Amino acid sequence: MYYKSSLLTDVSVALRNNTLSLPDYITQICDRIKSTDKIIQSLLPEKDRKKRLLKEADKLLKQYPNPKERPPLYGVLVGIKDMFRVDGLPTQAGSKLPPKVFEGAEAKCVTRLREAGALILGKTVSTEFAYFSPGPTKNPRNPEYTPGGSSSGSAAAVAMGLCPLALGTQTIASVIRPAAYCGIVGVKPSYGRISTVGVIPFSQSVDHIGFFTQEMQGAILAASILIDDWDNSVRTGKPRIYLPSDAFLVQSECDVYNRFYKLINLLNAHGYEILSFPLFKEIKKINDVHRELIAAEFAVNHKKLYAKYGDLYSEPSRELMEKGLKVSQPALIADKAIQKTYKESIDEIMQSECIDLWICPSTTTPAPKGLDYTGNPLMSLPWTFTGLPSVTIPVGKADNDMPLGMQLIAAYGKDEQLLQYASELYQILSY
């Protein structure tokens, strides 16, 4: 069912130079949605989607009749996770709450995509409030398996070829994990480099905006549009790559762990020296602090809504809410201080050891079978906690024939370098 023909670079070029008609493109995608998304359920239902898109396409054609003047994402269909406000489309944050409670100005990053010529395909399914209660989305690689969460619909829609680009959010692992489970590229930029304005907050201290594509060149194109102050002039040499060894890596299961080291050997064979450093000796403490921090901020963000609509919250969200309400203000301040300390520590280590890139599995396991669990987030948690940019690239399959991902992490603010390194390693490691 997986459909590998929706490469962002190919689609964007074809639409700009008229080798792919924009109305034909929209018709093809809407037909594909009709035939396949009833199974995968990556998109929220929308009446007259095709009619809306053709009307928007006609307006875009009139605005840019000259192909040479067309913006980089001219006509490209983009999926938007149901945590982002989008003009003309309701927002429910994956919940049963009425859309009116989430109304507001369109998310800045969505507007930026429109300004680059993109058309909004529609809202993609999110787990409730971007937490643990899954939506109906299935994994395009095998519908019996989870696509991961919380950006489940965005990852599945890109993997299914319904759109070449989709937005997601990550508060623990909600971009990297579903991208890895669905066998595509997922990018979580440095904290704050894509604006969260207009996005329903989960935990402001660690909320990141990220995105999905099917290939690295498309990811670089998307990054150049979405990420603030993107610098196309940055050039890199061969990276110094390190493993965050010891307690962190052994959180992954044996199949993932063993295959990861086979890939390390492959990189060695291509002339990359992979060193190790015991970066997260206190990984349990980091995991615990992160969970307490996001629970506390979630409770603050939802306090008024929960008081009025608490009966509409799922059990996992209610449990998170109750946990967050018990976190004192001094405890929250202490958690943020610990976060700051770890950020500074990693920055010092990377500078003193001349580390360009960390490398690790994207997930602890391949996608689990079943749809009631979105998978373990621990391989992404410390990178999200410290705000470092990360990318997952597809690197083959596990014993259960589901995709595996390799996660690459750079220093804070080094997103341009990270995507160049990832592009180089993608050529070696990606299947």
**Mean pLDDT for the chain overall:** 97
CA distance 28 to 114: 21
Are β-strands 165-170 and 208-213 bridged in parallel, bridged antiparallel, or unpaired? Answer: antiparallel
pLDDT digits (tens, 9 = 90+) for 358-381: 999 999 999 999 999 999 999 999
Question: How would residue 154 be classed by pLDDT, with cut points 50, 70 and 90?
Answer: very high
Of the listed 12, 126, 150, 203, which one is catalytic? Answer: 150
Cα–Cα nearest to 279, from 391, 405, 386: 386
Please state the pTM of the whole predicted model: 0.98
Tell me how far CA of residue 44 lies from CA of 95, 144, 149, 402, 421, in angstroms.
12, 20, 15, 25, 35
- What percent of the chain is modeled with pLDDT above 90? 97
Q: Which residue shows structure tokens 């809202």?
A: 123
Q: Which CATH architecture has domain 8-226?
A: Alpha-Beta Complex (3.90)
Tokens encoding 158: 């890109």
340 has catalytic annotation = no
Question: How would residue 430 be classed by pLDDT, with cut points 50, 70 and 90?
Answer: confident
pLDDT digits (tens, 9 = 90+) for 23-80: 999 999 999 999 999 999 999 999 999 999 999 999 999 999 999 999 999 999 999 9
174 has catalytic annotation = yes
Enumerate the domain spans of the chain. Answer: 8-226, 241-282+338-429, 284-331
Tell me how far CA of residue 74 lies from CA of 3, 14, 328, in angstroms.
22, 10, 49
Mean predicted confidence (pLDDT) in 288-299: 98
Cα–Cα nearest to 383, from 409, 349, 353: 409
CA distance 421 to 414: 11
Of the listed 6, 12, 42, 81, which one is catalytic? Answer: 81
The confidence score (pLDDT) of residue 431 equals 67
Tell me how far CA of residue 310 lies from CA of 201, 256, 274, 299, 328, in angstroms.
17, 39, 50, 12, 21
Residue count (the chain): 431
Question: How would residue 400 be classed by pLDDT, with cut points 50, 70 and 90?
Answer: very high
Question: How would residue 3 be classed by pLDDT, with cut points 50, 70 and 90?
Answer: low
Of the listed 174, 203, 362, 423, which one is catalytic? Answer: 174
Mean predicted confidence (pLDDT) in 326-349: 98
DSSP-assigned letters across all residues of 110-177: HHHHHHTT-EEEEEEP--GGGSSS--S--BTTBTTB---SSSHHHHHHHHTTS-SEEEEEESSSTTHH
